[in-house]
Amino acid sequence: MSGKLRLAEGEAARTACARAVLRAGVDEETGEVLSRAVLAQRVGWCADLVAGMVAALIGAHWNSVDVQVLASGVDAGGRRLPSNAWMALRRLGWTATTPDGVRVNDRIVRMVLEQAGRVLRSVKWRAEVAAGVLSSWPADPRQRTPAEWDQVRASIPGGEHLPSSVIKGRTRQAAAFAKANGRLPVDVFELEGVPRIGRMLLLAACDRQQAIIERSDTDPGRALLRLQLPTRPDPQTYRDWTWVACRITLPPTVPAAAVLHLPTLRVTDGTVRADLAYTHPVPKAARTGHTVAVGVDWGLNTLLSAGALRLGKDGRITALGAGGQFRAPGVLAKQHRLRRHSERLHAKADQYARLLGGRPDEHVSAKHEVLAGEIRHVSARRANLNDALAWAAARWTVDQAIAARATVIYLEDLRSLEAKGMGHSLNTRLSQQVRGKISDRMRHLAAEHGIAVVTVPARNTSKHCPQCLTPLQHRKAPDKPTVAGWKWAICPDQSCRWQGDRDHGAWRRIAARGLTHQAKTAIDKTSGQMAIRTVVDTLEASAVITPSTTTTGSRRDRSKTGPTRHRTSRPAPRRRRAPSPTRPHGRAGKRPEGHAPTDRKLPRAAHRHQGVNTISTPTTTGHRPRGAALGAGFHLHAHATPPRWETIPETPSDSGSLS
């Protein structure tokens, strides 16, 4: 860490991560400039040593007894284990062994213990879920009864709030193991096996004897990282380790006053990439006391629908604007094309694997290797596309909250959503949504502005009217009130008669439910995420939106009360009331009528009074843009469509438009 972070009143420390690239380095002992390839090679040698030692340590303690001892938080003498994983493992006496003939310093061993300790600590939750599923194994693994659901949730710590999809996933995994082996697995360690160890260097577990990072005094956008790296893949003595200085260009997202931490180094495609952690002060997000909130509803074609509500001092809830939608049809279509392409490639690869059958065949093996490389390439494209979509959707949502001056974002909780009963194609599209990534990015961006992100139960958010809680009637479109559908919602209550887009009604219900259930917001101790887990009927009864009287009262009654007034066909009067004089033969004389050129004959459809909706008569000779070529204004074959406004009772208020 470089420096200390000081917090003012109303601020909180926020730790984030930014990605950087180490493009070159300097060997401080010899003064040699290390290129990108040489630097990646030396970092890779160190990462290989660490990964091998981590795999050996995890393999020795990959059992339920050792994991339970580590998760208990106390050692054999009853003392509390430290929070740092490497210190906890040393307290328990778990040590890492180095390969024969290899010499590493104590800080390398710290990185090994830290990485192994994190892996062993993370498996504790999976072990509890698997143990609860195996101890309450249902009669039919494909369909649990309500009593069996209550039993399995009671056998898992915190199972009452666990999404059912997690329990079903573990059940399918255990059922597949039982089908292959003829028995159920003993625990998660038999079910999963030893995990694969990544090639990385956790420099955060080291001190100044192994790695140092300092920010430049002259340029706050640069930092200097110094670390010890081996000069050979199997260092024999301490002389085979030398100090290497690497300059890092910080991303613009890192504030100038942020405190830098030692990064995690990875070697990817011959390049050393650094996951640089930093801490900076941000406004503290409040759990309660919100008066302006943004509600967010998930959709399929319309990925997000959001809008703002205001809670008045009298307890009434009003809408601020008509809301907006985040649509990404092009990105989603690309995503589905890549998914189908990946499925075809996997089917071909499986066929080649069956043809091989353990027999050596160079021709088929070469084809299988080519398909494996193509599968990795398509998977990387899908991951990059999902990541870009998640950042764009999260940025759009946080911008809506900033524009409305909201202090909280209420997000529909769809962790327990199960894609079933909607057809093969639609089920797959629902299961491929990147809701988890969008939620994480949304929390990350909202924390910079002190905006809280709270998940809200999704029960009946699209079923009931946001103004009177009456069950809605869903129709295909607003101009088809008798055709059954799901897109357009109409309230059957004659005293309400609210109607609007189904998703717009859902975000209103989500935001209203969040505002009335603020006191029920719970904060997870481990992750710090806020959530409203239950819906109280008495609070739900007050989660109704009052139509704004100021905006509805200001609307002018446009009902027809008499004959339509005759309007001239000319949009504006002529410049002259009298006919223009004849154009003289020379350059001198009076200016002719109007401002259109008169020395050339214009097409009849392209005169200077052409309106915005004017289009020319179709021709059989093809596209002939004569009007635009002669400077007559609009293109002959183009027209401007009048604006279409959403017919929702609420109109934008002083907070600004959200669409």
If asked whether residues 310 and 442 sit together in one domain, one would say yes
If asked whether residues 209 and 319 sit together in one domain, one would say no
Q: Indicate whether 574 belongs to any domain.
A: no
If asked whether residues 300 and 206 sit together in one domain, one would say no
Q: Indicate whether 640 belongs to any domain.
A: no
Q: Indicate whether 656 belongs to any domain.
A: no
Q: Indicate whether 16 belongs to any domain.
A: no
Q: Indicate whether 412 belongs to any domain.
A: yes
Q: Which of 553, 571, 598 corresponds to the end of one domain?
A: 553
Q: Which of 553, 570, 589 corresponds to the end of one domain?
A: 553
Strand duo 264-268 + 302-311: pairing: unpaired
pLDDT (0 to 100) of residue 555:
54
Q: Residue 317 is part of a domain; what is its CATH number?
A: 3.30.420.10
pLDDT (0 to 100) of residue 573:
55
State the Cα–Cα distance between residues 138 and 144, nearest whole angstrom: 6
Q: Indicate whether 374 belongs to any domain.
A: no
pLDDT (0 to 100) of residue 362:
84
If asked whether residues 208 and 145 sit together in one domain, one would say yes
Q: Are 234 and 101 a contacting pair, CB within 8 Å?
A: yes
- Grouping H, G, I as helix, E, B as strand and the rest as coil, residue 344 is helix
If asked whether residues 197 and 108 sit together in one domain, one would say yes
**CA quadruple 135, 139, 143, 145: dihedral positive or negative?**
negative
If asked whether residues 237 and 315 sit together in one domain, one would say no
If asked whether residues 207 and 311 sit together in one domain, one would say no
If asked whether residues 497 and 396 sit together in one domain, one would say yes
Q: Indicate whether 125 belongs to any domain.
A: yes
| Residue ranges making up the domain that contains 417 | 292-331+382-553
Q: Indicate whether 599 belongs to any domain.
A: no
**DSSP3 helix / strand / coil % (the chain, rounded to 5):** 35, 20, 45
Q: For the segment 258-298, what is each residue's pLDDT rounded down to a tens digit?
A: 999 999 999 998 999 999 999 999 999 999 999 999 999 98
If asked whether residues 236 and 298 sit together in one domain, one would say no
Q: For the segment 479-528, what is each residue's pLDDT rounded down to a tens digit?
A: 887 888 878 899 998 888 888 888 899 999 999 999 999 999 999 887 88
The total of structural domains in the chain comes to: 2
pTM of the model: 0.74
H or E segment and range at residue 278: strand 271-283
If asked whether residues 206 and 299 sit together in one domain, one would say no
If asked whether residues 165 and 299 sit together in one domain, one would say no
Mean pLDDT of 594-604: 51
Mean pLDDT of 435-447: 90
Mean pLDDT, the chain, as a whole number? 83
pLDDT (0 to 100) of residue 554:
47
pLDDT (0 to 100) of residue 585:
56
If asked whether residues 175 and 318 sit together in one domain, one would say no
DSSP assignment, residue 459?
Answer: T
User: Helices H, strands E: what count in the chain?
Assistant: 15, 21
